[in-house]
Amino acid sequence: MHAPLVVRLTLPLLRRGELALARAAASRRADVAVARRVLACAGPERRFARALLERKANLWLLRSDQRAFGGDFVVVDCSPARVEDRAALVLELKQGAPVARAGPSRHQVRNAAAVVAAAARATGALRPDAPFEVLLGDPDALLARLARARRA
């Protein structure tokens, strides 16, 4: 497996669009086209990302490489001051599906650990071997669950 790309999403970056997102993730100009393809956000994903970032300032949201089979997003709750105390949520958005925990055997998230490690290396917000949980479900249902939670 290739090293997965991840990029931390911010509201200004989301407003600037996919090319800005790709430039934030790609270290070389030649890689921007690939990054643009694998990090692109469809309408429901973009709406989910904006809504989450507007509601939960303590959460860092990272877009996952769609070739990596590591979910759609990685969420890191940055409330704990110590990086060692932070965990991640890997989210797989499924329109109309109830929120449920998923195991690593599920095809779309089989490489979630590698994506979490890539998120850690890219941001320093958590350890590469940080614990994580995988949730899948409807974007609105996931958003409601995360908005209710004290900690992600």
Ordered strands of the 88-93 beta sheet? 6-9, 59-64, 73-77, 88-93, 132-137, 100-101
Q: Identify any residues that bridge with 74 across adjacent strands, giving them in sequence order.
A: 62, 90
Phi first, then psi: what are they for 102, rounded to 5°? -130, 150
Does the pTM surpass 0.85? The reply is: yes
Report d(CA 124, CA 20) in Å as an integer: 21
The mean pLDDT value of the chain amounts to 86
Strands, DSSP E only, in 15-138?
A: 59-64, 73-77, 88-93, 100-101, 132-137
* Token duo for residue 13: 């970056």
3-state secondary structure 80-105: CCCHHHCCEEEEEECCCCCCEECCCC
pLDDT digits (tens, 9 = 90+) for 99-150: 999 987 888 899 999 999 999 999 999 999 999 999 999 999 999 999 887 6
Half-sphere exposure of 85 toward its Cβ, with a 13 Å CA cutoff?
Answer: 6
Provide the pLDDT for residue 13.
Answer: 80
How high is the pLDDT of residue 124? 95
Tokens of 80: 């704990």
State the pLDDT at residue 141.
Answer: 97
* Share above pLDDT 70 across residues of the chain, in percent, rounded to a whole number: 84
**Which secondary structure element, helix H or strand E, spans residue 39, and what is its range?**
helix 32-39
